[in-house]
Structure 1
């Protein structure tokens, strides 16, 4: 049990800026096995976002509360996945071949594709959450609690199904480049899917279909362009599927 707790804290320390106990050891191998708990980290981030939203919505208009709650979660994660989204937009948008795409992604500077992609992603998520706020404070909180774990499961599934393509041994995501065992994938799936129980069945089904569609498309696209994934690609998929969940819930409302 202690080992499992250490793996969870390893994942939490890697994917967020939240402090972890000093007694937790770190090694690339532990990070490798900690992939099973990436969706559980989403529970923590989602809870931070939901709590921030509920507190801020008591005193501020919904649009402002949404933006500030997004800022809180971005601070908690260190914009880890947003950075990956921006880098992926730059690389896949501006690169012509695999080598060029990987080189652009590695550049710490943000380009036109990354800037536009990041602004549009943040605006789309904010707009979707503001629309969800029209159904009450609980709707936004539930959406956050569902979207963060499930979107991280989408990224985890790519670790399990695709090849890691960056050969640089110093790459930050290199320790993650191992397929999960059946048990590890089952644990990750449970933590990613369980929060769907917070939604109505129709909303849950639409959100799951949206995530599956985006993840499948992203996987095929990344294989075609790169032959696999990088750490930036994982962040990009997390962002894209998080937005897909919000849009899926809204689409369900419109149809019903």
Structure 2
């Protein structure tokens, strides 16, 4: 129980901006199995905000916007920042070195801004299309848990593009942690969306992962922390769109 508690605190400290102290025994590579658990918590917060907004009589689009804003706030826009940097680097750099240099730049370029706008609109639109707080809550929890559940698997499958940085500093998750995270993410999809929709969402996410694996290897020779942010955002969007389309 002590090791599980340490891993959960480590996952919360890494994936959110909650005031959680990092344990002395923190090992993020080992604690990677907690990513979908933390994701479910983030999704639940978004669901709560959606329910509160809906209870006040606000329209679905506004409720969905506030829900997405809440999830971005609690995570400190960690994954959104990675998505924007990845878009800028992949779109604006001519060589691997130049792409990695752009991705290190904290400023956002045209590619990053446009991709962020599209990503937010897709998430808000998909959530708003769902009929009420119940389906929206299920989709939010599934999306955030499922999207983070595939991150350890991606980290094991794709080598680091550079020797330093966030992803390299974390290290490679253990086989057990990656397997547990994947299974927990899949379980969240099945429980929240139902077996049929959950399976479709899982297959769509796998297709997206294959695309990003090939793209990141071609563009920069591997993955970075920014690429992991792009993976989470893409997976989250695909799950929400699947739920909106099939429900």
Q: TM-score, normalised by structure 2?
A: 0.94
Confirm or deny that 1:153 pairs with 2:149: yes
Shift of residue 26 of structure 1? 5.9
Confirm or deny that 1:165 pairs with 2:196: no
Indicate the residue corresponding to 1:195 in structure 2. 188
Confirm or deny that 1:110 pairs with 2:103: no
- Partners of 2:226 and 2:197 in 1: how far apart? 29
Indicate the residue corresponding to 2:140 in structure 1. 144
- Partners of 2:204 and 2:22 in 1: how far apart? 40
Contact 2:161 2:223 in 1 (8 A): yes
How many residue pairs get aligned? The number is 245
Question: SS in structure 2 opposite 1:31?
Answer: coil
Shift of residue 179 of structure 1? 4.2
Contact 2:42 2:144 in 1 (8 A): yes
Which consecutive residues of structure 2, in runs of 5 or more, have no partner in the other structure? none
Q: 1:210 to 1:66 in 2, by over 3 A?
A: same
What is the 5 A alignment of 1:1-256? Answer: 1-20=1-20, 22=21, 24-25=23-24, 27=26, 30-59=27-56, 60-132=58-130, 135-168=131-164, 171-181=165-175, 183-196=176-189, 197-253=191-247
Contact 1:163 1:177 in 2 (8 A): no
Per-residue CA distance 1:162-207 (angstroms, 9 max, x = gap): 1011223xx23322231422x2222212221111222233211221
What is the alpha-carbon root mean square deviation over aligned residues?
A: 1.5
Shift of residue 94 of structure 1? 0.5
Contact 1:32 1:175 in 2 (8 A): no
- Partners of 1:126 and 1:23 in 2: how far apart? 32
Shift of residue 32 of structure 1? 2.2
- Partners of 2:44 and 2:93 in 1: how far apart? 37
Q: Detail structure 1 runs of 4+ shifted over 4 Å in the superposition.
A: none
